[in-house]
């Protein structure tokens, strides 16, 4: 499988181009029955929690679809923390205007919970906006609660 469904900061095509120069964005869609959330606060050395998705009937997550070239797949796994066990890859179905497409996502390998920093949440909302997410989706992202970074950050 070559399609990757990005839901966090990798929604931004320019960011993905830097990580995966051989892997173009091929569309957008929704992962139905899942919701965007945060996890790992205090577990992985970040100031706040990181983005993930969890199954949640009735919800959906906006994604960018990328056709990931094999040359870029290992790089993307490394960036997303698969070798370290931070994230794991799952296959989901993405609903697009052309029908359903199987794609992989990275899901945090731990429990849901915690708040992102204001900066991190802003990065995700900006990336969603750049990918063409609907205005209400981006607005909902921007209204989520955040944590204050510690003074030593």
* Residue 18 Rama label (left phi>0; alpha psi -120 to 50; beta): alpha
pLDDT of residue 64: 97
- pLDDT range class, residue 68, cuts 50, 70, 90: very high
CB 47 within 8 A of CB 75: no
Burial of 76 (0-12, 13-18, 19+ CB in 10 A): buried
11-40 tens-digit pLDDT:
999 999 998 999 999 999 999 999 999 998
Q: Which positions are catalytic?
A: 80
Structure tokens at 7: 């839901």
Q: Where are the domains of the chain?
A: 3-137
Point out the annotated binding site for substrate.
4-9, 120
- Mean pLDDT over residues 114-142, rounded? 96
Can you say which residues are annotated as belonging to the binding site? 4-9, 120
pLDDT of 153 strictly over 50: no
Looking at the chain, the whole-number percentage of residues with pLDDT higher than 70 is: 93
Q: Per-residue pLDDT for 10 more than 80?
A: yes
Q: Which residue has the higher pLDDT, 151 or 68?
A: 68
Query: 139 near 33, Cβ under 8 Å?
Result: no
- Among the listed residues 102, 120, 92, 97, the one whose alpha carbon sits nearest the alpha carbon of residue 35: 92
Q: Using DSSP, how many helices (H) and how many strands (E) does the chain show?
A: 4, 5
Considering the segment(s) 3-137 as one domain, its CATH architecture is: Roll (3.10)
């Amino acid at each position: 499988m070559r399609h990757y469904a990005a839901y966090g900061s990798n929604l931004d095509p320019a960011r993905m181009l830097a990580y995966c120069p051989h892997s173009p964005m091929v569309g957008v869609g929704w992962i139905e029955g899942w919701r965007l959330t945060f996890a790992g606060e205090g577990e992985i050395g970040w100031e706040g929690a990181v983005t993930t998705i969890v199954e949640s009937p009735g919800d959906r997550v906006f994604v960018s679809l990328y056709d990931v070239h094999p040359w870029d797949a290992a790089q993307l796994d490394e960036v997303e923390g698969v070798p370290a066990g931070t994230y794991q890859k799952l296959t989901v179905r993405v609903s697009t205007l052309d029908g359903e497409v199987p794609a992989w996502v990275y899901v945090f390998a731990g429990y849901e919970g915690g708040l992102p920093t204001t900066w991190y949440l802003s990065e995700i909302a900006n990336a969603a906006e750049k990918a063409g997410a609907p205005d209400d989706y981006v607005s909902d992202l921007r209204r989520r609660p955040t944590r204050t970074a510690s003074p030593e950050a």
